[in-house]
Structure 1
Amino acid sequence: MSKFACAISLVLVGLQMAGAQGRSVEWTHYSGNAASHKYSPLDQINKDTIGKLQVAWRWTSPDNAVVAANPTARPGGYADTPLMVKGVLYTVTSLGQIAAINPATGQTIWALDPGNWKTGRPGNLGYVHRGIAYWSDPSTRQSGGGDRLILGTHDAHLISVDAQTGTLDKTFGQDGRVDLMGSLANAVRATNYSVTAAPVVVRDVIIVGASIHDGPTHKEWPRGDVSGFDVRTGKRLWTIRSIPQKGEYGNETWGDDSWTYTGSTNVWTNMSTDEELGYVYLPFGTPTDDFYGGHRPGHNLFAETIMAVDAKTGKRVWHFQGVHHGVWDYDFPAAPILVDITVNGKPIKALAQVSKQGFTYVLDRRNGSPVWPIEERPVPQSTVPGERTSPTQPFPTKPPAYERQGVTESDLIDFTPELKAAALEVFRQFETGPLFTPPTEKGTIVNPGWTGGANWAGAAFDPETNTLYVPSITSPIVVQLIKPDPARSNLLYVRGGTMMPPLIDGLPLLKPPYGRVTAIDLNQGETRWMAAIGDGPRNHPLLKDLNLSPLGMPIRNAAMVTRTLLFVAAGAGNLGGGGNLPVGARPLSKVEVEPTKFRVLDKATGATLWEVDAPGRPLASPMTYMYQGKQYIVVAAGGGLNAELVAYALQ
């Protein structure tokens, strides 16, 4: 993949001449392209025209009708970023319904309900789907007759749908379906094992991970294996075991035979692919249990690891572990972003992986070597009986962290002496320290918490300037380990107690900004700018007279970048919910909580150019396309009874 190849592909592959209708520019993957850039070269909507942006159409999700008739099937948030391919917009709803939509009018062309939601509500966030994959058969590419939509479902199946007709491809698997779960130990369909993220397709191989229920009561849990399937037949071609079994590379990193029963370590989020290299890049998560690992001594490969896999053979090419023996739930939460950068005059085919802990890991995507040194540094050790944490953890030397890391007295709010004194009282109730301070029986303030830093919405990358835009939130949590009832759990310790640090007179414990976007120059490994997103608690009675700049809201932001603009949809709370108050976040008790916003920033400076109250609660990144000569911005919003797509265009 040559320099700017991913950007050029959006123009050359996504550009179609449609006669008098004008040109079309597509959005062919969940994150825009296979490299997960969330970038488009379109600029009809720009700094000069943004003031004319208005709602062009709204599309009502068919989930709304299902929920009205089946209240127990209430979905989670609408987390899809639609695709636009060959003049049709495609989306998957929270309940797993697939629809084809006219991109100019928002009218439904066809809709398919595979009925996967009827199996039962999945664990974690419930009914949530984060995308579908589009595959075009080269032999029928001109007619489109071989085009397929690929979906991983809540009931742990892989389905293939004819993109033209909206019918299941009966030649794929068994009547259009492939069972992903099979005989996997400890897996219960939908209950603790499902799929939420979009599959990927590279060199005619579908690769799919799994969503596995967090917080198990037992150490025996399903593994997060990743498999490749023939895109035409659905035949399973290979499987990568996320926890190496006996005789496999990395098995020795699981002491006390813990590889025989430990689970999770799954790729629950999105992946990226490099068609030229033939690689798929897998971001693995945390093993069972998220916050206590006394039963699984060792570094625990391939937990919290980025792995490059040959898509045809399923062979591991290289891996990099970002957290050894994880006890912080620091999953790699988003797809690695494939970037072609120039460092010290040398072109590098790299990847940039954002993280919950606030680091951006930049690696050569051909071999996994760090672009800038990543140092193993000593970290605090656990005092919990039976726990054996790693003496060191990897610390990237570049780029700088984009989030506050760890908790010291200097991190506490100090708007007034009284607030600082109150914050110190709370601070002294818990164990605190630098990044990677482990959980304790007393309770440790972990910052970033598992809801903080960057999360599944990931980042956006501008290949014109090699700038990475990372939305993140400051969201510490308290992790207190307790001994469970032996009749209910065979783990020595589980997480208990409170989750969020107490508020200080209705204010967060730590200094702002609480929600931000950071622009990082990936050629230099340096921060270009950082902008707080949202006013935050500036109108608190104790702050309103201090003339503060925006403090940012702890609301998840999802980004998309174009030739001149950065689009930021804000709506997901720090537990993935939304609305005017983040679900899972405590209300700032003396603050009027601001509505969630859809914002447009100057990508060069971070200055806000335009904003509007967000429809519903956007969770996923916006997307953009051009159809019949007009550029559209589309964002998914809402959930439950009000899920919809909202399209914006110049009026």
Structure 2
Amino acid sequence: MRLPFPAAPKRPLLAASFAVLAASILAVTAYPPTPALAGAPATTKTVDWPVYGGSKTGDRYSPLTQITPANVKKLQVAWTYDTGETTGLQTHPLIVGRTLFAYTPSQKVVALDAATGKQLWSFDSGIRTGQPDRGFSFWTSVDGRSRILFAQTLYALWALNPDTGKPIETFGNKGCIDLRNNLGAESPAGTVAITTPGTVYKDLIIMGFRTGEAEPSPHGDIRAYDVHTGAMRWSFHTIPHPGEPGYETWPKDAWKYTGGANNWTGGVLDEKRGIFYAPTGSAVTDFYGADRIGDDLYANSLLALDANTGKLLWHFQAVHHDLWDRDFPAPPVLLTLKHDGKMVDAIAQTTKHGQIFVFDRVSGKPLFPIEEKPFPASTTPGEVASPTQPMSVAIEPYARQRLTADMLTQRTPEAHAWAVKEFGTFISDGQFVPLSVGRQTVIFPGFDGGAEWGGEAADPRTGVMYLNANDIAWTGGLTEVTAAGLGAATYGSQCAACHGADRKGQPPTFPSLIDAGRTLTPEQMTTVIHDGRGRMPSFSGLGGETLTALLAFVRTGKEPEGRAIGVTGPAQPLPVPDRSDKEELPPGSSSTTGPVAKFRFTGYRKFLDPDGYPAIAGPWGTFSAVDLNTGKYLWKVPLGQYPELAAKGMKDTGSENYGGPVLTASGLLFIGATNFDNKMRAFDAKSGRLLWEYTMDFAGNATPATYMVDGKQYVVIATSSARNPKAKQGARYVAFALP
């Protein structure tokens, strides 16, 4: 018997208060162009890249035209900057005047001469972390005399003098604020990591953050801070409190124990109207939601907030009661489109599952039809899946939606035979099929998308959007939680989702912890647990007996006997300045917990053949252009290669890719992104034709930036090979220019 879903079956696609919206729209004075930094030599012509994503609209578009389709083949390396470190680098650099701001993999901040790559200064917060850091924010006063560079290290937001790299001590506590604060006493403890920069609006910086994907995780509140003092000016509860709209879409007390629904991607801004748009992630835990039955607003939602007050203007939820980790993967983009014969200010949002949703950015009205489609009920005890999910029915998905037997790999007869046998054990019936106990369900496109965090580029002149996507299959399932010792229980709740119940992981994306136990000391493993690394969040609160038991289980698969190996005692606090609002910190461990989970995720599994290649037919990565005036695709091409397959004639396979494109007014698309071939590419925006490529030492798993200094246009990208551990490792910035 199918259980009734608690929310009303006929739900509106969006909720808006147009009267409030009209009253809240404010015009702001436009800032003058940001001058070159103090002491910089005069330039003949300087064009900045002063915002994450190129502009506050998120279009990754540059007006520069010096590099053209006709001369792009002449591009050569202009300079490089080696960080001297070897882990992942995903930074989208920020360029103001003659200065380029960048991170190292350990989140040191460096300022470089944008024309030469020479280091000008560096800043080390003292906080050790391996989390990705994707960009910066920059504030300039209306008169242009005051400037602040906002940088982040783990949970700390720093206000730096952009000329010197010194903290501005009037901001927060000696130059920084701690985003673990101000989440409310009810918020569970857990990871807070700022991987994407905030959005500057007037004298505010609006911040989201990354958190863990298992309990306990904190509430994903979106907050705005005063750029001068660091004082919090407003907060929006993405998990509504009692009496707030959306509270009725959760169980009564879920707001006390459930976390997530966080804006980890960053957002975009309609500066004239004062509207901030923020996509949110999933509520925890990602794959079993018996303790959060309901639609779970405002998880998996695109939010339009009054940037002055944080008041909700309208929202759209793309996934009700998410059971598939289908959080929004990237910020949206703002464009002006021709719709029904009129020009409409619009917002477009991509998804992990290949859908494009387009709305009137003021009212939230869909510009292309969206329908609630029926999907299967869950067969897992205690779970109640949403009976419907919204689907964009006029714009074709940019990634394949359902894996069938005729789509399996033909790379070799042996690989095909293996894939057919393995596929026969899966459930594969398209989107939004709830995970099952004891059998793997195909997620296609995979858990990483579809679209991913690199975002898309768009032409503000034409309304054409350009996006790269992954197009490979993953699988996932559920298993019953059984009684276990402290080490096994901690591993099951915090580690097994990525590294598997057997601790074998799925290298290279999810490393084997059996191998780690052989190569890392307990002290080294503790450092990774507390600091995080790559896609793994930090677990800084793990200490004492719990940490000891976890280390023993990870290393041996058994509970510790007697006095355990490894590190004992409480976790050491990370070196951040004393916080000024300690009374508002969440408790060290949540005092309120939801129902004990009966099932947990079996782990992320890519559907790879025995040789490590995707077990489905290609292309495995794509690059597309879609005209958002009509919803029609203009072109789609494979993106990426495996060098060893290309050498055998398989050149158009595509590959996994992370990091987005940038577009120039001359009609060029620059993109790195691809995991295995280490290439930087330039495509013709009109046709999708490849015009230029260059093989770098490391992969460009980041979004490039383009700028001009002294009349010369540069294209720069961060490179590293962390997603391909078989490759030579390093982390370097590479800038290209014409001779």
For Structure 1 versus Structure 2, the TM-score category normalised by the shorter chain is 0.7 to 0.9
SS in 1 for 2:349: strand
Q: Which runs of 5+ in 1 are unaligned?
A: 1-8, 68-73, 573-579, 581-594
Matched, 1:235 2:249: no
Corresponding residue for residue 147 of structure 2 = 147
Distance between the aligned counterparts of 1:398 and 1:625, measured in 2?
37
Corresponding residue for residue 494 of structure 1 = 600
Letter aligned with residue 50 of structure 2: T
610-619 or 45-54, larger mean C-alpha shift: 610-619
Corresponding residue for residue 585 of structure 1 = none
Distance between the aligned counterparts of 1:44 and 1:14, measured in 2?
21
Letter aligned with residue 469 of structure 1: Y
Contact residue 415 and residue 615 of structure 2 kept, 8 A: no
Distance between the aligned counterparts of 1:418 and 1:106, measured in 2?
49
Q: Which runs of 5+ in 2 are unaligned?
A: 1-28, 494-595, 723-728
Corresponding residue for residue 690 of structure 2 = 608
1:71-150 map, 5 Å: 76-117=87-128, 121=129, 126-139=130-143, 141=144, 144=145, 146-150=146-150
Output one character per residue of 1:492-521: Cα deviation in whole Å (capped at 9) or x when no partner.
Answer: 111115612252776533221101101100
Distance between the aligned counterparts of 2:451 and 2:713, measured in 1?
29
308-317 or 250-259, larger mean C-alpha shift: 250-259
Letter aligned with residue 462 of structure 1: D
Distance between the aligned counterparts of 1:26 and 1:328, measured in 2?
39
Deviation, 1:162, is: 1.3
Distance between the aligned counterparts of 1:404 and 1:344, measured in 2?
29
Per the normalisation by structure 2, the TM-score is: 0.76
- Label 1:417 to 1:165 Cα distance change in 2 as closer, same or farther (>3 A): closer
Deviation, 1:614, is: 2.8
Deviation, 1:549, is: 6.5
- Label 1:529 to 1:158 Cα distance change in 2 as closer, same or farther (>3 A): same
Say which of 623, 634, 637 aligns to 1:517: 623
1:251-266 map, 5 Å: 251-255=247-251, 257-266=253-262
Corresponding residue for residue 483 of structure 1 = 480
Which structure is richer in relative contact order (CA contacts within 8 A, separation 6 or more)?
2
Say which of 715, 733, 737 aligns to 1:633: 715
Matched, 1:60 2:82: yes
Distance between the aligned counterparts of 1:600 and 1:39, measured in 2?
14
Distance between the aligned counterparts of 1:14 and 1:337, measured in 2?
23
Q: Percent identity?
A: 36
Matched, 1:645 2:733: yes
- Label 1:627 to 1:386 Cα distance change in 2 as closer, same or farther (>3 A): same
Corresponding residue for residue 55 of structure 2 = 33
Matched, 1:570 2:673: yes
Corresponding residue for residue 5 of structure 1 = none
Contact residue 535 and residue 551 of structure 1 kept, 8 A: yes
SS in 2 for 1:295: helix
Distance between the aligned counterparts of 1:469 and 1:622, measured in 2?
14
Distance between the aligned counterparts of 2:218 and 2:402, measured in 1?
32
1:110-509 map, 5 Å: 110-117=121-128, 121=129, 126-139=130-143, 141=144, 144=145, 146-154=146-154, 156-182=155-181, 184=183, 192-214=191-213, 216=214, 218=215, 220-255=216-251, 257-413=253-409, 422-441=418-437, 442-487=439-484, 488=489, 490-496=596-602, 499-503=605-609, 507-509=613-615
501-510 or 274-283, larger mean C-alpha shift: 501-510
Contact residue 472 and residue 557 of structure 1 kept, 8 A: no
SS in 2 for 1:405: coil
SS in 1 for 2:324: coil
Q: Report which of the two structures shows the higher radius of gyration computed on alpha carbons.
A: 2
Contact residue 80 and residue 636 of structure 1 kept, 8 A: yes
Contact residue 569 and residue 614 of structure 1 kept, 8 A: no
SS in 2 for 1:425: helix
RMSD value, Cα: 2.6
- Label 1:374 to 1:27 Cα distance change in 2 as closer, same or farther (>3 A): same
Per the normalisation by structure 1, the TM-score is: 0.85
Output one character per residue of 1:60-91: Cα deviation in whole Å (capped at 9) or x when no partner.
Answer: 22xx3xx6xxxxxx7x4111111111332122
Letter aligned with residue 60 of structure 1: D
1:522-537 map, 5 Å: 522-536=628-642
Say which of 660, 679, 682 aligns to 1:558: 660
Corresponding residue for residue 4 of structure 1 = none
Distance between the aligned counterparts of 1:187 and 1:163, measured in 2?
34
Deviation, 1:389, is: 0.5
Output one character per residue of 1:231-263: Cα deviation in whole Å (capped at 9) or x when no partner.
Answer: 111110111111101111101100253222111
Higher strand share: 1
Deviation, 1:571, is: 3.8
Letter aligned with residue 228 of structure 2: R
Letter aligned with residue 54 of structure 1: Q
Contact residue 358 and residue 401 of structure 1 kept, 8 A: yes
Distance between the aligned counterparts of 1:415 and 1:344, measured in 2?
46
- Label 1:290 to 1:622 Cα distance change in 2 as closer, same or farther (>3 A): same
Output one character per residue of 1:334-376: Cα deviation in whole Å (capped at 9) or x when no partner.
Answer: 1111111112321111111111111111111112111111110
Letter aligned with residue 238 of structure 1: W
Letter aligned with residue 693 of structure 2: E
